[in-house]
Amino acid sequence: MRLETRAVHAGAEPDGETGALSPPLHLATTYAHAPDGLREDGLLYQRRDNPTQRRLETALAALDGAARALFFASGVSAGAAALHGLAPGSRVIVQNDLYSGLRIQMQHYAQRWQLELDVCDLADLDAARTALGTPAALVWAESPSNPLMRVIDIQALAALAHGAGARLLVDSTFAPPTVQQPLALGADIVLHSATKYMGGHSDVMGGVLCFALDGEHAESAFTAREFIGLNASPFAAWLVLRGLRSMPARMAWHCASAARVATFLDRHSAVTAVHYPGLTSHPGHALAARQMRGFGGMLSFQVAGGREAALAVASRLQLFINATSLGGSESLVEHRVSVEGSQSRTPPDLLRLSVGLEHVDDLIDDLQQALSG
């Protein structure tokens, strides 16, 4: 069964009681059980599990080719659960341009969680090989990266990690399963912020971990979700499940429009650099063409004149809304260094774009007037 068909049908069997084609939403916080506390299906309390979430996780596992999928309250809570699944004293090799929210979380809590962090440029396989010369439990990568759109060779990095006895986690938020499948390339765990393309409408928050094997690390993440309270609401699970149905069609439009926008910006005299793996000039273009289906709906560009010029462009945009997040129907622009704060590693002249579902010619016209001043 092809991926687009799986997106429509996975976890979508008609309701057994009513025959309804739209999945039922179970809001119950607790479930009747036997006097000894047992239920054959394991449903006891919403924080542990619920039927709506189970449907979603069935669909997520089918799309990512995973043995097990877990849904969380947010992308960063999914990341926290992945870290809690590690033994005290574990060494984690972290990509140097990892999404700032996760990177800062790790820096804040690594010592408390008794983890050793080693920051590495994982796009450089020689650097990764050197870092793996010291024993590590987990390699944490992101491809494409946020916001510089750097592409990591997932297959090669997985081979290096496994050869050193480590597991590979790939944050694939910018490239959901219809665009990229890290598990098929050898990764052990894939992380998604479901808030973005999976939800698709800027109205739900959630995070996902998909595991190649249903083993100890997956069970540890499940336990962390229950006992730390990293669970999402059933309504959030229902909204993401709904979003998955249209994700293939939405992503095709996002990808096509982003490619047009990137080409326009690449030719504009007020732009000094465009970061989009769909451009043949991008250093990761050939690699992205091998491991992605399309090049995604995210890109970033740098404005001639520095920080103030970039802010001026952002202020003149009319269709692109200045807002955090990505992957919704509406196009967004963000001056990342302003949002990321003092620990940001993003160039001050960079603007990140989430290309939405508007007509691409209108988006290009908006960028043209903003860049022209």
pLDDT at 5: 95
Mean pLDDT on 336-349? 90
Both 269 and 153 in one domain: the answer is no
Tell me what pLDDT residue 341 has: 83
For residues 39 and 235, give the distance between their C-alpha atoms in angstroms, rounded to a whole number.
23
Query: Averaged over 274-280, what is the pLDDT?
Result: 98
Average pLDDT of span 237-244:
98
* Beta strand extents in 107-257 (DSSP E only): 116-120, 138-142, 167-171, 189-193, 207-211
The mean pLDDT value for 332-337 works out to: 97
Q: Got the DSSP string for 6-69?
A: HHHHTT-PPPTTT--SSPP----SB----TTS--TT---BTTT--HHHHHHHHHHHHHHT-SEE
CATH code at position 291: 3.90.1150.10
In eight-state DSSP terms, residue 72 is E
Cα end-to-end distance, the chain, whole Å: 50
Please give the pLDDT value at position 357. Answer: 98
Identify the pLDDT of residue 164.
98
Among the listed residues 198, 161, 195, 155, the one whose alpha carbon sits nearest the alpha carbon of residue 179: 198
Domain co-membership, 148 together with 269: no
- The per-residue pLDDT for 373 is 85
Both 286 and 180 in a single domain? no
Looking at 243, 265, 293, the residue that finishes a domain is 243
Query: SS3 of 272, please?
Result: strand
Number of domains in the chain: 2
Contact present, 300 and 272 (Cβ < 8 Å) = no
- Diameter of the chain measured on Cα atoms: 73
Residue 160 is predicted with a pLDDT of: 98
Q: What integer is the mean pLDDT of 328-354?
A: 94
Token representation of residue 77:
């809570």
- Specify the pLDDT at position 28: 92
Average confidence (pLDDT) over 196-223: 97
Domain boundary among 243, 276, 303: 243
Considering the domain architecture, whether residues 251 and 238 belong to the same structural domain is answered as no
Same domain as 168, residue 55? yes
- Same-domain check for residues 47 and 195: yes
Please say if the pLDDT value at position 241 is more than 90.
yes
CATH number of the CATH domain containing 206: 3.40.640.10
Same domain, 187 and 174: yes
Which range of residues forms the domain containing residue 310?
A: 247-372
Same-domain status, 279 and 132:
no
- Clarify whether residues 209 and 253 are in a common domain: no
> Which percentage of the chain shows pLDDT scores above 90?
89
Rounded to an integer, the average pLDDT of 77-87 is: 94
The predicted-structure confidence for 153-204, as pLDDT tens digits, reads as follows 999 999 999 999 999 999 999 999 999 999 999 999 999 999 999 999 999 9
What pLDDT shows up at residue 125? Answer: 98
Q: 18 and 125, same structural domain?
A: yes
pLDDT, average across residues 227-248: 97
pLDDT at 107 over 90: no
- Average pLDDT value for the chain: 96
Residues 20-73 pLDDT 10s: 999 999 999 999 988 887 788 889 899 999 999 999 999 999 999 999 999 999
Residues annotated catalytic, as ranges: 47, 99, 171, 196
Q: What is the pTM of this model?
A: 0.96
Please report the pLDDT score of residue 111 as a whole number: 87
Residues 294 and 219 in one domain: no
Domain boundary at 228, 243, 258, which?
A: 243
Clarify whether residues 128 and 203 are in a common domain: yes
